[in-house]
A and B are shown apart, each in its own frame.
Chain A
């Protein structure tokens, strides 16, 4: 256990504020050469095109040059925020996102911990490899299987009927109240194996000496899991969590689009679907851009809050 503490100290060295002087720059010139060109590169590819955000304030027509565009102020944003459906799609987006976030994190971490407990390397690798297979199937295929399984004569109803949990088949996809759960479960099914990979890699970096020390203290398996493995991947968990919180408005559109239907549409439509329907599908690039800006603003705000919280809690930070 003692080792953990020293290790932690090594990581959490108090930051020294350095003044920007020529001497410092000179002593860090290698670091500068290794990072500044790459920064310029990312500025070119990610930031320079952001002039395109002006589109959100125009009635953008691709055929016209920049000077010929009509400027419409906040019209696009107004359309977005004042539409009757907007609050509904926002609610759905948040609902599904939070479910996906929580389910995704918990299942991936638990699975990684359990996989780590498999003794035989060959089994461990086999299970790992198989569990990540669904990641490579498109959502069309996965939702196809989900829809078949949830049909009135599908396997889910079969099992529940055999277990006498229900008397009649349930039409799972006809009820809005099940929809978010179905989407969440589908995500877990498709991505849980893939999501564990990053934790398994993080576990590989845990010093075996820590386990040995725990052994000597007579720690049980659970204790080791709880006090060695989990702290060992904590920084990874926290960082991934902060990053994901920033993506809370990205609930996606494919699954909802493929599994949704008229009966659950009130629960299935997300911001992305809304923007797609009234933006790109109508050739209204301006609305699509406005939707993107809205999402970015929310993302960055959430990101900063999450990062600040992590800082207050003394956890690993993103920024």
Chain B
């Protein structure tokens, strides 16, 4: 087979497919495409709705939101909810801590996990089985809160930035996913490189790693989203150092305190509430919506950026020959 054929982009490949099948039967693809289009529109409507609804709630006056009935469009526009979120001076530093931990975790995870996956995909590797078992089992147990805390404490990671990074540098799930992917890469590639005298590390770095781009993009997304959304480590291990707090944890505190202030019998005053103040007041429902948007938008942009890597792996075939 010629090189050109293998370099076909997925668009091209799909294009070819359509043209040919049109020739074989005309009705079938039309029917299929129509059905598919309708289904996709339905899917988009259904999955876009909760997000649009959250945006609408976040832009609606808190006191009005309580009445319910906000769907896609705010009834009483306000930026008050966002003001309340951004008024907290602590979220700016927390944002950068979150960015730092997310990027660093992602990079380390991808590199280390792929390296490990490569070794465990080598059938000749003597420790392949025991190491695989050791990693796989970690998915199904947890030692518990307190022993985990003692470990972190003994390692002097309490109140340190590194507690966000070190305990989660490798995930067994991701390792298995990458290993499965590597399994689809023809072994001949590795074998021939070995014959050329390349060592395993070199093969991993030069051949396997670049070929794994689509799965690495996926894993990068998983790790990044996980790191960005996690708050439990900040809650358990760094809560006494404000400057290490993460965005998610700060937003959680904001949300819970807005709930507290309304449910604390000693605070609820209700006196001197006139119309203007009542309008500007923030309710748990509205601040939750604003918080959700603020917390998720920065990480949402990652996916579209990674999507283009989902197709790069197509030139596997070209290396084969």
Q: Which A residues have a C-beta under 8 Å from some C-beta of B? A: 7, 10-11, 13, 15-16, 18, 20, 24-25, 28, 30-36, 38-39, 41-53, 55, 60, 62, 111, 114-115, 117-119, 121, 123, 125-138, 140-142, 145, 148, 189, 192-193, 197-198, 200-202, 204-205, 207-209, 211-212, 215, 218, 220-221, 224, 232, 235-236, 239-240, 243, 246-247, 285, 288-289, 292-293, 295-296, 299-300, 303, 316, 318-319
Contacts and interface: CB of A to CB of B under 8 A. Distances in A.
B50 interface: yes
A254 to B, nearest CB: 14
B289 A319 contact: no
B35 to A, nearest CB: 9
A141 B289 contact: yes
Given A127-B40, A137-B292, A208 B46 contact: no
A232 B229 CA distance: 32
A202 to B, nearest CB: 7
Contacts of B145: 285
24 contacts: A13-B187, A28-B200, A34-B119, A35-B120, A39-B134, A42-B134, A48-B143, A49-B147, A55-B144, A125-B304, A125-B307, A130-B44, A136-B299, A192-B47, A193-B47, A201-B215, A205-B313, A207-B314, A220-B28, A235-B180, A292-B141, A295-B140, A296-B141, A300-B137
Contacts, number: 282
B136 A319 contact: yes
Interface stretch (B15-23, B85-93, B94-102, B236-244): B15-23
B25 interface: yes
Contacts of B36: 114, 117-118
B317 A209 contact: yes
Nearest to B252: A138
A102 to B, nearest CB: 19
Most buried by B among A42, A48, A129, A319: A42
B201 interface: yes
Main secondary structure of the interface of B (DSSP, over half): helix
A208 B43 contact: no
Contacts of B137: 300
Given A10-B186, A133-B48, 17 more contacts: A31-B127, A35-B119, A121-B11, A125-B304, A128-B307, A129-B307, A131-B44, A136-B229, A138-B292, A197-B221, A200-B310, A202-B180, A205-B214, A208-B5, A209-B1, A293-B141, A296-B141
A128 B170 CA distance: 27
B262 interface: no
Contact of B140 (A130, A221, A299): A299
Interface range on chain B (Cβ under 8 Å from partner):
35 or more
Given A10-B186, A133-B50, A215-B20, A28 B141 contact: no
Interface in B218-254: 218, 221, 225, 229
B17 A208 contact: no
A39 B15 CA distance: 46
Interface of B: 1, 5-6, 8, 10-11, 13-18, 20-21, 24-25, 28-29, 32, 36, 39-40, 43-44, 46-51, 53-54, 68, 112, 115-116, 118-120, 122-127, 129, 131-148, 150-151, 166-167, 169-170, 172-173, 176-177, 180-181, 183-188, 199-201, 204, 214-215, 217-218, 221, 225, 229, 288-289, 292, 296, 299-300, 303-304, 307, 310-314, 316-317
B282 to A, nearest CB: 16
A52 B140 contact: no
Contacts of B169: 41
B143 A50 contact: yes
A18 B129 CA distance: 12
A285 B146 contact: yes
A243 B174 CA distance: 11
B269 to A, nearest CB: 27
